[in-house]
Amino acid sequence: MGGASFYFRSMIDSRIVITGIGLTAPNGDNLPEFRKNLLEGVAGIENIETRYMGTVHAGVCHFDPLRYQKKKSLRIGTRAGSVAIYCSQEAVRDSGVDWQSQDKDRVGVYLGVTEHGNVETENEIYNISQFDYDTRYWTHHHNPRTVANNPAGEVTINMKITGPHYTIGAACAAGNAGLIQAAQMLRLGEVDFVLAGGVSESIHTFGIFAAFKSQGALAHHADPRKASRPFDRDRNGIVVSEGGCVFTVERLEDAKARGAKIYAEIAGYALNSDAKDYVLPYSVQQAVCMRQALKKAGINPADVDLVNTHATATPLGDEQECMAIREVFADCPETFVNNTKGFIGHAMGAAGALELAGNLPSFDDGRIHPCLNVDRLDPKCEVPNLVLGKPLDGRRVDVILNNSFGMLGINSVLIAGRYVE
């Protein structure tokens, strides 16, 4: 019993690190391409046609799904599954792990999602509408396509993983939540190697566009590349995007034993709830969440070098987050703030993971990418050291705090630190 207790304590105290990154975003299908476009101000928003809505702005990914899947599995599976498989395979490849000899029983897959199954159900209803709603034309693939664990499950089938898998429904806080789950399960000793992050297929459902439009929260602009404008006076809503980002996550001792490169250490995190409204954000609880994460990391606000904001370009949402940041990071002259959604729109369940990935290279190159499309800063969104216009160069970045908030008042904060012995 004593030995088991020691093992449990040793796992709980383990340091958790990120050792591989696989992603697809509207402006890049791998981290080097994504990072380059963030630094060079390249947005990936375009116009698409969607059922019943006509032309809408969207963030579309252009990865090759056949790199890791056969045509048959593409027919059976989902777009979210394809995104997840591509990102997971790329992350494993990037990690340098000997995948063939990896014990697949000890690999976990934890992927955050905002929603899942809407696309497939909408498509089937539309299909049977062409046949007088005769359900004989309803596909027998609908059930496995729409179960909530689908994207993570498709990864396990594709990669022959026999360890635990599930998705984490955490609205737009889900990308961070996937990483938080990874850290917790590794520390509990339930798994030894994790694929974690977030994925989204949102642009393939007309319902999300229709709902945001009915709320007055769907972005519109003559130039789609300028439609997503967090913090700008003329911002008018969200650009819906698809995308994915998956990290390989390990205990430090395991990563060191195999000589892995280490992108970052997961230094702290927090999840909490507003308990206030279905849709409207609440700065008070956002600030509490940031403070909880800082406390878990054992650091002060002034120790944070970069805050990546969640801001989605909705008027109230951006204001509330800026209020929280001003409160938590008052008197922090060396803490800088940026945003990623001007480049890629809102990738929903993938947002937090993608935005963290895009900033992690700051540990190595000393550069902080700017916000995009802030032509006239809204005074209500003014925060100290907001990076605008061009990258900030020559900064030593040791700590990144990543905000990700979602509907029904779920807030997530993840703190990544430069790895040091």
Residues labelled catalytic: 172, 310, 346
Q: At what angle do helices 351-359 and 31-40 cross, to 10 degrees?
A: 80
For every residue of 40-86, DSSP letters joined together read: HT---EEEEEETTTEEEEEE-----GGGT--HHHHHHS-HHHHHHHH
Distance, CA of 193 to CA of 97 (rounded, Å): 10
Q: What's the chain's Rg over C-alpha atoms?
A: 21
Q: Are 131 and 165 in contact (CB under 8 A)?
A: no
**Coil vs helix vs strand at 172:** helix
Cβ-based burial of 364 (10 A; exposed 0-12, middle 13-18, buried ≥19): exposed
**Chain centroid to CA 76:** 25
Residue 150: partners with Cβ closer than 8 Å, 6 or more residues away: 77, 78, 80, 81, 116, 117, 144, 167
DSSP 402: E
**What is the sign of the dihedral through the CA atoms of 385, 386, 388 and 392?**
positive
Listed residue (324, 390, 308, 398) closest to 356, CA to CA: 308
**Coil vs helix vs strand at 229:** coil
